[in-house]
């Protein structure tokens, strides 16, 4: 474990040795009592993370699979997509690719889509569902889910939530906030290897899903619901990753989800303070890309002065033994990103930030 704490990519995130070693367990049949016991163990770990009494679907796909499931299983009718970054744009593109009549609002990457714009759109026309990204990994912006959900439900619109870099890192209250479908991927704040996605659907959403006409097969949530009650999955799951998830679920339960959220909040604050310090020390206009009132607890995009390139910062930090993320999409050149999520600690994050500051001072010379 002494080498843990060098890999600060905003996904995949660093995985602890104990979790990696869990995957060495031998195979077992995926129909049978031993598997069902394993799956039940997984549920015990996952439900508190989602703050839900509902079962958690386990998809052997990356998170994009459950983005597609969300769209395919939404009731017939148009989709409203809230776009404020690369991943929310992807969600809208998936709706289009699945043949849905899709209306996009927002487009400004600097902030969550304003509630007034959401309300206006919902008043204009009835939408079966809206798509929203909780924590925009491309910008580090956090959207307030209770506000969006309350508005959507006033207009009888289901809320499909990508909380891929939210769940397990920042507060998500699936049941209390009445989220219709919310999902994450294994390789972000849950600090598991890539390859699984987890999601929870409300009973209301499932009833609507039963009326969806093009659910397809692999991502049919109605099937998932049927199997989850038997502690099974519709097709052969990535069994080794399930072993890892069981172990990590127990680790998170010991930490407690509240303590995990608090640790992430502390790391985010530390990173924001560090950016302010960097600006003061260098006199150059470094800043946190996301607005102060809407910052994610798991990832920070740092906007660079024109003289610096995101890639050069990433390369310099790598020479010092740490991995951080480059800018994403149209922010590739003008930002870099630090993933302060998963099982990282403020101590090791401080060392990564120190290496990043050293790199920047050298590049500015």
Ligand X SMILES: *Cc1c(COP(=O)(O)O)cnc(C)c1O
In the list 71, 133, 159, 301, the residue contacting ligand X (rule: CB under 6 A) is: 133
- For position 192 contacting ligand X by CB under 6 A, the verdict is no
The stretch among 57-65, 112-120, 201-209, 305-313 that binds ligand X (CB under 6 A) is 57-65
- For position 62 contacting ligand X by CB under 6 A, the verdict is yes
CA quadruple 318, 349, 19, 221: dihedral, nearest 10: -100
How large is the C-alpha radius of gyration of the chain? 20
Nearest to 143 by CA among 159, 157, 123, 120: 159
- In angstroms, give the least distance from the CB of 67 to ligand X: 6
Nearest to 38 by CA among 49, 28, 51: 28
In the list 74, 82, 95, 164, the residue contacting ligand X (rule: CB under 6 A) is: 164
Nearer Cβ to ligand X (133/308): 133
Q: Footprint of ligand X on residues 266-325 (CB under 6 A)? A: none
* Degrees, nearest 5: CA angle 354-85-316: 25
Cα gap 236→31, rounded to integer Å:
9
- For position 93 contacting ligand X by CB under 6 A, the verdict is no
In the list 84, 102, 131, 137, the residue contacting ligand X (rule: CB under 6 A) is: 137
- For position 87 contacting ligand X by CB under 6 A, the verdict is yes
In the list 14, 68, 89, 162, the residue contacting ligand X (rule: CB under 6 A) is: 162
Q: DSSP states of 79-123 as a string?
A: EEEEESSHHHHHHHHHHHHTT--EEEEE--TTSPPPHHHHHHHHH
Cα 334 from chain centre = 23
How many residues in the shown chain lie near ligand X by CB under 6 A? Answer: 12
- For position 185 contacting ligand X by CB under 6 A, the verdict is yes
- For position 183 contacting ligand X by CB under 6 A, the verdict is no
In the list 6, 43, 64, 111, the residue contacting ligand X (rule: CB under 6 A) is: 64
Q: For residue 328, report the phi and psi dihedrals to the nearest 5 degrees.
A: -115, 135
Cα gap 275→286, rounded to integer Å:
7
- For position 89 contacting ligand X by CB under 6 A, the verdict is no
| Residues at the contact surface with ligand X, assessed by CB under 6 A | 11, 62-64, 87, 133, 137, 162, 164-165, 185, 188
């Amino acid at each position: 474990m002494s080498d843990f704490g060098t890999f600060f990519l905003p996904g995949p995130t660093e995985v602890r040795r104990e979790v990696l070693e869990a995957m060495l367990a031998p195979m077992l049949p995926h129909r049978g009592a031993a598997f069902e016991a394993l799956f039940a163990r997984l549920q015990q770990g996952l439900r508190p993370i989602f703050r839900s009494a509902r079962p958690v679907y386990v998809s052997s796909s990356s998170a994009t699979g459950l983005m597609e499931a969300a769209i395919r299983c939404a009731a017939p009718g148009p989709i409203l997509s809230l776009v404020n970054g690369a991943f929310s744009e992807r969600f809208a593109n998936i709706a289009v690719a699945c043949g849905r009549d899709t209306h996009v609002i927002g487009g400004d990457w600097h902030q969550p889509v304003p509630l007034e714009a959401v309300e206006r759109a919902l008043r204009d026309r009835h939408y079966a569902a809206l798509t929203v990204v909780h924590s925009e990994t491309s910008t580090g912006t956090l959207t307030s889910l209770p506000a969006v959900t309350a508005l959507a439900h006033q207009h009888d619109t289901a809320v499909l939530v990508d909380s891929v870099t939210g769940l397990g890192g920042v507060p998500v209250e699936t049941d209390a906030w009445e989220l219709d479908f919310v999902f994450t991927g294994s390789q972000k704040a849950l600090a598991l290897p890539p390859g699984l996605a987890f999601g929870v659907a409300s009973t209301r959403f499932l009833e609507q899903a039963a009326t969806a006409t093009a659910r397809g097969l692999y991502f049919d949530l109605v099937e998932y619901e049927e199997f989850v009650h038997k502690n099974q999955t519709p097709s052969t799951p990535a069994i080794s990753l399930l072993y890892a998830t069981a172990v990590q679920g127990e680790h998170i339960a010991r930490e407690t989800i509240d303590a995990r959220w608090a640790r992430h909040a502390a790391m985010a604050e530390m990173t924001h303070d560090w950016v302010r310090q960097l600006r003061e020390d260098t006199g150059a206009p470094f800043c946190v890309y996301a607005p102060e009132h809407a910052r994610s607890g798991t990832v920070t995009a740092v906007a660079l002065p024109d003289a610096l390139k995101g890639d050069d910062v990433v390369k310099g930090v790598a020479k010092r033994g740490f991995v951080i993320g480059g800018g994403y999409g149209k922010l590739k050149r003008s930002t870099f990103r630090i993933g302060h999520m998963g099982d990282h600690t403020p101590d090791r994050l401080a060392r990564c930030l120190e290496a990043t500051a050293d790199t920047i001072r050298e590049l500015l010379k």
